[in-house]
Every structure is written in structure tokens, then in C-alpha cells.
A and B are shown apart, each in its own frame.
Chain A
Amino acid sequence: MSKPQASLRTPLGKVRGLGSAKHGAGHFITQRVSAVALIFLVPWFLISLIGAVRGGYDGALAWVADPVNAVLILLAVGASLYHMRLGMQVVVEDYIGKHSTKAVLLILNTFICVALFAITAYAVLKIAIA
């Protein structure tokens, strides 16, 4: 460490990862970009789903099998999972003080969102491509 320190934070503080990780702006922007997408996708999903559930099992199957619906379902659920992972991350960071609990919950949050997407992708692709 020959250079003079540019910041007031100690090297130990940086290593511990407390404070800014320099990713705050990215989180803020992606949360909002996914929000803009969801403003269009969620209303489509709700309105489109209305007809599907009324048709019973065959109606549901036909709804997902439609190529346009299949792509839009993947986009709607995918954007939702992406958006809610970011949102839940902030909730955990705000309310959970204990380091170990926070780490476990943040990892769990990511696992849940990725797993839900895998299930969605399996379901939609199986129906739409079959």
C-alpha cells in the first residue's frame, strides 16, 4: 500500500463487505427496468389468464400451448421473479441484522427465484413444444 488512501474506509471494513459494494445504482436501475416491463406484462397475464382458467384443464393447456402466450408467460413470470428477487433482497438487508442469517436468507432468496423459474420454464416448454 504505497499509494495514499483515497477513501476514509479502512481496508478491513472493505474486506468485511460492509457499506457500499458499488452495485447500488445497478440494483436501483434493474429493479425499475423490470418494473416497467411488468406494467405491461402483469395486466396481460391477468386478463389473458381469465379465459384460460374458465376453460378447465383443456382450456389451461390450450392457453399455454399458444406460441404467443407461451413466450409472454415466460416473460411475465421471468420478469416477476427477477423483480421480486431484487425486492426481497432489500427487505432482508433492511430487517435482518445478523450476518449469518442475512447471508442464508439472501442465498435462499436467489435459490427460490431460480428454482421457480426452472419449474416455469419446464412447464411452459413441455406444453408449448410437445
Chain B
Amino acid sequence: MSDWTDTRPMSPHTTIWKWHLTMASSILHRVTGVGNYIGIFLVVAWLFATAVGPDYYEPLSGLIGSIWGQLILFGFTLSVSYHVLNGVRHLFMDAGKGLNPKTGSFLAGLVLVLAVVVAVGIWMLAGLVPGVDPLRLTGQA
């Protein structure tokens, strides 16, 4: 509330807590959720531009193809990848599985690593990583 007058630190006491993996993972889940909220604007804009015509599609395509566009797109890919994988972990936790500290930290770390692997993998498959094109897509179009 805006009339909060208690000067004692408020939960989760981020200033005095020792950072640990499950805490970071919980915060990251929320951060990536908000990131995906912003990112879907790009997906909807892309669909809209496709429906309206090349006059809209080409400029948007150029924007996404620029250095900044690619950075944002990779951030979005990473954000989606993390949120989906960590979401699966959350569903297991909702079922009461993997809640002891050791398993919890292990799975949180695993999701973190897998998210990067999956995001990079998608980019390699999509031929977005220079010099890598396993599906030979560059010849199409």
C-alpha cells in the first residue's frame, strides 16, 4: 500500500538474503514472463504485416534483420525458451515433485543451461547463426 510506514525490510529481503539458484530462477521466471509479454507484440506485428502486404512486411523484416533487431529477437528466443522449460519445472513442483533443496537447485540449474542450449539450437536450425545452416534453408526463398 502507498501508506506503508514500516521501515523494516520487506519480504523477500533481497538486500540481506544470500542469492541462491532457486531464488534467481523464480525471479527469472517472472522477468522472462514480462519479456515474453513485450515480445509477442513482435509476433503479432509480423502476422499483421504479412496480412496487410509487402509494403508493411519488408520494412518490418528489415528492422528485425538489423543488428538491434537480431539482438532483441535472440533475447526473446532465450526468454521464451527459459519460460517454457522453467514452466515445466513449475508444473512438476505444483505436483509436489522436486521440492527438496538439492533436487530444486539441480533442476533450476539444469533449466538455466537447457534454456541457452535450446535458444542457440533454434537459431542454428533457423540459419540465423552466420555460417551455420544445417537445414540448408539459405538456398530457398
A residues neighboring B (CB under 8 Å):
32, 35-36, 38-39, 42-43, 46-47, 50-51, 53-57, 59-61, 64, 73, 77, 80-81, 84, 87-88, 91, 97-98, 116, 119-120, 122-124, 126-127
Contact = CB atoms under 8 A, between A and B. Distances in A.
Contacts of A91: 30, 33-34
A122 B80 contact: no
Contacts of A80: 36, 40
A119 B37 CA distance: 15
Contact of B91 (A35, A53, A123): A35
Majority DSSP secondary structure for residues of A touching B: helix
B2 A98 contact: yes
A87 B37 contact: yes
A116 B135 CA distance: 32
B107 interface: no
B44 A116 contact: yes
Interface in B74-98: 77, 80, 84, 87-88, 90-91, 94
Contacts of B30: 91
B47 A64 contact: yes
Contacts of A47: 122, 125
B50 interface: yes
Contacts of A42: 80, 84
B16 interface: no
A92 B54 CA distance: 38
Contacts, number: 99
Interface residues of B, number: 39
A119 B84 contact: no
A32 B91 contact: yes
A123 B56 CA distance: 13
Contacts of B4: 97
A73 B47 contact: yes
B125 A81 contact: no
Nearest to B90: A35
Interface string B28-46: 0010011011001101101
Contact of B140 (A54, A61, A81): A54
A111 B26 CA distance: 27
A47 B137 CA distance: 13
A39 B122 contact: no
Nearest to B33: A87
Given A57-B57, A123-B48, 16 more contacts: A46-B77, A50-B125, A50-B126, A53-B126, A54-B137, A54-B140, A54-B141, A57-B54, A60-B46, A64-B50, A84-B33, A87-B37, A88-B37, A91-B33, A98-B1, A123-B47
